[in-house]
Amino acid sequence: MISHYSGISPTGDLLLLQKLGAKLKKKSFLHINSTKAGGGVAEILQRMIPIMNGLGIKTRWEIIEGDDRFFDITKKIHNAIQGNPETITKDMWDHHYEINKINAGRLDLEANAVLIHDPQPAPLIKFRKKGKWIWRCHIDVSNPVKEVCDYLMRYCSKYNAAVFSVARFARAMAIDEFIIPPSIDPLSDKNRDLTHEEISETMNRLQIPVDRPILLQVSRFDRFKDPVGVIEAYKTVRKYNDCILVLAGSPATDDPEGEMVLNEVRDYASDDPDIHIHLLPPFSDRDINALQRGATIILQKSLKEGFGLTVSEAMWKAKPVIGGAVGGIPLQIVHGATGFLVHSVEGAAFRIRQYLNNPEMARRMGEKGREYVRNNFLITRQTRDYLSIWYSLENKGKNILEL
Ligand code: UDP
């Protein structure tokens, strides 16, 4: 498996992965989250489990099951952790715990290392058997509702370590904390190389003209992704430069606001024939890949963001990118080098024009972006980081670890 990444991932990462794999071979690693499909966590796990197994580590991936009430409660916990005002009553916390208890009876929790993803399965720590338990937080905990966060931390503080995606998201905890940003898989359908025919097929089927520069944003229809701001920027640019705009996103079935936002976006686009709004079915990975490869400039003009995987996806395709300076986007875009960070519609319009008027500069920045992703945001690096943490926890107290 790892050999498939040679020539793509940095050699140092692959070497370290192999060495860590040799040290941890035959040991067992268990990941637990709450869904097999949908969202970045599942997307990464799907690709990471085979890599870990390929290294000889006995890796399993389990999901917790719950009733509708459980997922209502965990959604509220999630929102509160990200700062929305929500109250979680004692009764709700009890249900959260009880469902985890049932899952603890159902699942085999025996493993040398257990990585628990996000708040939903956090109480499983109460049922630990042995091994190192690590809590992996994928969400923004920088400004949570205090009471909710304090209650959750009662569970999290019992783990051996906690992992956050971005330093600013981390909390002051009494256990070891690590920062591990997410990653993309260069070999997945979303990111693998495509032939010109494959790209053309998607562009033709979606009726996107390719005779002019294409601006693209791929995102759920969510106000925090600022699709209306993207259209405003495009409209400013259109006064001076010819181009088309493509907004692509999946229907957000679990998001009651999704349809409303989509309607707002359609209204705002009005009858401009050069704005193409595409509602893609779930699992449109190859089409998204083709759209990204067919685009001239890729935007992620978010107003609030977790990590923003779409930015790494775009940079991996050597595209010039423009991103809102929020969440994990500034980790990926080094302003002026691997892309541009913006704080306003005017800023976005200015940078779009700068790219359109300087194609050679845009090409160079796109190339730099690809190398930046190669060195920092590929799945081999993230797997290496998880194994490093595990290995260091197994050897806690030693000053020097030999590989
Ligand atoms: N995505 C997708 N279909 C869509 C919109 C987004 O598959 O219609 C993918 C996108 O390519 C990326 C992920 O969903 O891999 C979104 O992750 P990101 O971190 O950018 O934002 P989130 O949606 O998690 O806030």
Residues 323-375 have pLDDT tens digits of 999 989 999 999 999 999 999 999 999 999 999 999 999 999 999 999 999 99
220 C-alpha vs ligand 1 centroid, how far in Å?
Answer: 7
Q: What confidence score (pLDDT) does residue 313 get?
A: 97
Residue whose Cα lies nearest atom 10 of ligand 1: it is 310
- Output the DSSP codes for 267-293: HHHTT-TTEEEEEPPSS-HHHHHHHHH
CA atoms within 13 A on the CB side of 192: 11
Whether 309 lines ligand 1, by a CB cut-off of 6 Å, is yes
Q: What confidence score (pLDDT) does residue 338 get?
A: 98
Whether 313 lines ligand 1, by a CB cut-off of 6 Å, is yes
- Whose tokens are 């986007």? That residue is 329
Best mutation site among 309, 312, 313, 319 for ligand 1 pocket (most ligand atoms within 8 Å of CB): 309
Radius of gyration in angstroms for the set of CA atoms belonging to the chain, rounded to a whole number: 22
Q: How far is CA 39 from CA 34, 207, 332, in A?
A: 11, 27, 19
310 C-alpha vs ligand 1 centroid, how far in Å?
Answer: 6
Best mutation site among 288, 302, 319, 329 for ligand 1 pocket (most ligand atoms within 8 Å of CB): 288
Domain architecture of the chain: domains with CATH: 2-183+378-394 (3.40.50.2000), 196-376 (3.40.50.2000)
Whether 42 lines ligand 1, by a CB cut-off of 6 Å, is no
Residues shown for the chain = 403
Whether 227 lines ligand 1, by a CB cut-off of 6 Å, is no
Q: What confidence score (pLDDT) does residue 258 get?
A: 78
208 C-alpha vs ligand 1 centroid, how far in Å?
Answer: 21
For residue 304 the two structure tokens come to 């609030």
CB 115 within 8 A of CB 30: yes
40 C-alpha vs ligand 1 centroid, how far in Å?
Answer: 7
In terms of DSSP H, where are the helices of 186-344?
Answer: 196-205, 227-238, 258-269, 285-294, 309-316, 329-332
Assign 3-state DSSP to the chain and report helix, strand, coil percentages, each to 5. 45, 15, 35
Sheet holding 58-63, edge to edge: 58-63, 28-33, 113-117, 132-137, 161-164, 176-179
Predicted TM-score (pTM) of this structure:
0.93
Mean pLDDT by runs of 10 across the 403 residues of the chain is 94 96 96 85 91 97 94 91 92 98 98 97 96 93 93 97 91 91 96 98 97 96 92 98 95 66 93 95 92 98 90 98 95 98 98 98 98 98 97 90 82
The minimum-distance atom of ligand 1 relative to the CA of 311 is 20
How far is 354 from 330, CA to CA, in rounded Å?
19
Which residues contact residue 94 at a Cβ distance below 8 angstroms, ignoring those fewer than 6 apart? none
